[in-house]
Amino acid sequence: MRLPEFLAKRRDALDHVARHSPARLAVGVFASVIAIVTLLLWQPIATTSGERPGFVDALFTATSAVCVTGLVTVDTATYWSTYGQFVIMVGIKIGGLGVMTLASILGLAVSRRIGLTQRLLTASETKTNKLGEVGSLIRAVIIASVAVEVTLALILFPRFLTLGVPALASAWEAVFLAVSIFNNAGFVVLPEGMAPYVGDWWMCLPLIIGTAIGAVGFPVILNVWTRRRSLRRVTLHTKLTLTTYAALFVGGTIAIGAFEWTNERTLGALPLADRVLATMVAGITPRSSGFSTVDVGAMHESTWFLTDALMFVGGGSASTAGGIKVTTLAVLLLAIVAEARGDRDVEVFRRRIDPAVIRVAIAVSFIGATIVGVSTLILLNLTNLRLDVILFEVISAFATCGLSTGITPLLPESGKVLLVVLMFFGRIGTMTLAAALALRNRRRVIRLPEERPIIG
């Protein structure tokens, strides 16, 4: 078979998958990107020592970068060379575009158009109601991400210059940090991390704002932008995302501040203004950014447990954040309130929520909790570590957050591989995985008689 004919057949096969199985294509593309980044990092040129890194370390770092997590087994600033750090940054950028968006871009490039099935699945993933908006959403994803990252880099660049960092190094650190912040990745190339900037408003305020913009989700960004002249007309998804996100940020910040205010190993030794800023950073990072200006391993166990809950919820749908998503939590809480009141419908913001959405929210939460529970049991058997630190690390990996108590580098290779699987599952999403395995809904002609079992 001649090469042109072979390429044409492969192109037709890929076009068929893009049209009829976009979710499976997304999973395959995501896994392929991780494999490519792993191979690029698994080269001697990727390390500062010039020695080939361990394969598990390369795989773990690649998965953490592409899944925009931030957990590391080796120090990013000192272990990886500039080439390795650049590969990590590219992996973060690609991963931040999102699973279904990435699949749509590939399908568009292959078939020159987005097929109806692909538009439907992408619309479902990105919470876009109109099929015609999918193409606009893809463009908005790229434009918005680049615009925010450039803005963040321009803000951070002068700060590095004022700290005495050479111009070229300042530009590189500003660009890397901007990409990492917006994509909620948690990677830093600063030798001492973010700890030296615990009271630096010039550094931490862009971190807080950039994290929030990246974590609310591209559909929210697009909707707010298109409705900027009349924000009252934004969609229900946007309202739920913004209100729940804000409530979790404010509540989480106050609670973490209360738990850690007198802890001399975290906030207690800081001046008042620095305490407030560090508390705000600690309140925003569980949304999935993974940055920390204080030692997470020195926090109280109560703070760990609260952070576990915040990380598990994560950020907005179709965003750079992980977790079960804030809208999932909002729908579950609204359903509980409606049941407690005896209301027939679940209503909010003068809108009624479809019962199918509630079933999806329950499924997402249950699958996520099951994955976390099983993984915690496995890791407990693989190590001699305490339950609290293992649970924290497992939820951080599944929620693609990146906050760590410091045990990740100490895990056996089997434990690191388990976290790799968790990061991958957490990033592609439980519903995307389900769609990849079974793309069509079951339609039954005959419905069985209804009967109510006793609950509670």
The one-letter code for the residue type at 411 is L
Which ranges of 67-98 does DSSP label H, i.e. alpha helix? 76-79, 82-96
Nearest one of 103, 101, 102 to 19, comparing CA atoms: 103
Q: Where are the beta strands (DSSP E) in 297-397?
A: 347-348, 351-352
Average pLDDT of span 274-285? 94
Q: Is 442 part of a structural domain of the chain? A: no
Residue with tokens 């900037």: 197
d(CA 419, CA 396): 9
Q: Quote the pLDDT of residue 293.
A: 92
Query: What are 73's two structure tokens?
Result: 């087994």
Q: Quote the pLDDT of residue 119.
A: 55
Q: How confident is the model at residue 81 (pLDDT cuts 50, 70, 90)?
A: very high
Q: Is 456 part of a structural domain of the chain? A: no
Q: Is 455 part of a structural domain of the chain? A: no
Number of compact structural domains in the chain: 1
The pTM assigned to this predicted structure is: 0.88
Q: Quote the pLDDT of residue 144.
A: 83
d(CA 431, CA 423): 15
d(CA 153, CA 310): 28
Torsion of CA 373, 376, 382, 383, to 10 degrees: -150
Q: Is 316 part of a structural domain of the chain? A: yes
More confident residue, 437 or 340: 340
Average pLDDT of span 162-187? 93
Q: Quote the pLDDT of residue 338.
A: 92
Query: What are 431's two structure tokens?
Result: 């519903």
Q: For Cα atoms 422, 188, 299, give the angle at the middle one, nearest 5 degrees.
A: 70
d(CA 122, CA 363): 19
What burial class does residue 331 get, using C-beta atoms within 10 Å of its C-beta: 0-12 exposed, 13-18 middle, 19+ buried?
buried
Give the pairing type, strands 351-352 and 347-348.
Answer: antiparallel
Q: Quote the pLDDT of residue 125.
A: 53
Q: Is 164 part of a structural domain of the chain? A: yes
Query: SS3 for 385?
Result: coil
Q: Is 196 part of a structural domain of the chain? A: yes
Q: Is 337 part of a structural domain of the chain? A: yes
Q: Is 1 part of a structural domain of the chain? A: no
pLDDT digits over 290-342, tens only? 899 999 999 999 999 999 999 999 988 878 888 989 999 999 999 999 999 98
Segments forming the whole domain that contains residue 348: 9-437
Residue with tokens 């990092």: 41
Q: How confident is the model at residue 438 (pLDDT cuts 50, 70, 90)?
A: very low
Give percent of the chain with pLDDT exceeding 90.
59
d(CA 439, CA 35): 25
Q: How confident is the model at residue 280 (pLDDT cuts 50, 70, 90)?
A: very high
